[in-house]
A and B are shown apart, each in its own frame.
Chain A
Amino acid sequence: QVQLQESGPGLMKPSETLSLTCAVSGDSISDYYWSWIRQSPGKGLEWIAYLHSTGSTKHNPSLEGRVTVSVDTSRHQFSLNLTSVTAADTAVYYCARHGATTVDIDLFDVWGPGTLVTVSS
């Protein structure tokens, strides 16, 4: 059974770069697309970016190029970097798997428990 686990800094200061990692166990990281999603009281659920081990990536245009995502297949993990954080980036950050079904639709069928990132001076 696939499991995801996020890890991150917890508390950050404005202007720093957020780095998060998602460890994947129980499944091949190369077989799926993976996403980062965050949830804040003010903005609800917000998709950040997706990636694949082939190098295919896409990020939310609203994040104005602050996002970099990468995958390390040898370590069975993928990562998110978000530059120049502000208080508005305070949220619970989730990693999630794009599930595979008989219908060609992107869906998030497995989620990590989430990690809270607080940006405060």
Chain B
Amino acid sequence: DIQMTQSPSSLSASVGDRVTISCRTSQSISSYLNWYQQQPGKPPKLLIYAASRLHSGVPSRFTGSGSGTAFTLTISNLQPEDFATYYCQQSWDTLQFTFGPGTKVEIK
């Protein structure tokens, strides 16, 4: 199966900051990478699909980039509702979808 890593595992930031989260995969997955946001007690919510495409209704301050084995989620002008945990997920191996371990964005 394709292993996923994310860094950092957690970070502290302030409202208005620019935040970058990294996701790496154990083998090349082209652009078959999605990003989700999860608030406590809620299911994950799709933000970005195919590495860089913004899901409908998601604010444009969220951007995704990368291909192959290295991907990045950037949140510009961090808002109070953005404090959450973020997960990457690969869809290259459709026999076993896998998720990253998550990055928790906390208020500084």
Contact = CB atoms under 8 A, between A and B. Distances in A.
B72 to A, nearest CB: 18
A114 B44 CA distance: 10
Interface of B: 1, 31-32, 34, 36, 42-46, 49-50, 53, 55, 87, 89, 91, 94-102
Contacts of B49: 99, 101, 103, 105, 107
Nearest to B53: A103
A101 B43 contact: no
Contacts of A96: 43
Interface in A84-121: 94, 96, 99, 101, 103, 105-109, 111-114
Given A61-B96, A99-B46, A114-B43, A105 B102 contact: no
A44 interface: yes
Given A62-B1, A106-B97, A45 B87 contact: yes
A97 to B, nearest CB: 10
Given A45-B87, A101-B49, A108 B44 contact: yes
A46 interface: yes
Contacts of A111: 43-45
Interface in A8-39: 35
Interface of B is mostly: loop
A101 B32 CA distance: 13
Interface size class of A (residues with CB under 8 A): 20 to 34
Nearest to A46: B99
A78 to B, nearest CB: 17
Nearest to A96: B43
A101 B34 CA distance: 13
Contacts of A61: 1, 95-96
A45 B53 contact: no
20 contacts: A44-B101, A44-B102, A45-B87, A45-B102, A47-B98, A58-B94, A58-B95, A60-B96, A61-B96, A62-B1, A99-B46, A101-B49, A101-B53, A103-B49, A106-B91, A106-B94, A107-B89, A108-B34, A108-B44, A111-B44
A94 B96 contact: no
B1 to A, nearest CB: 7
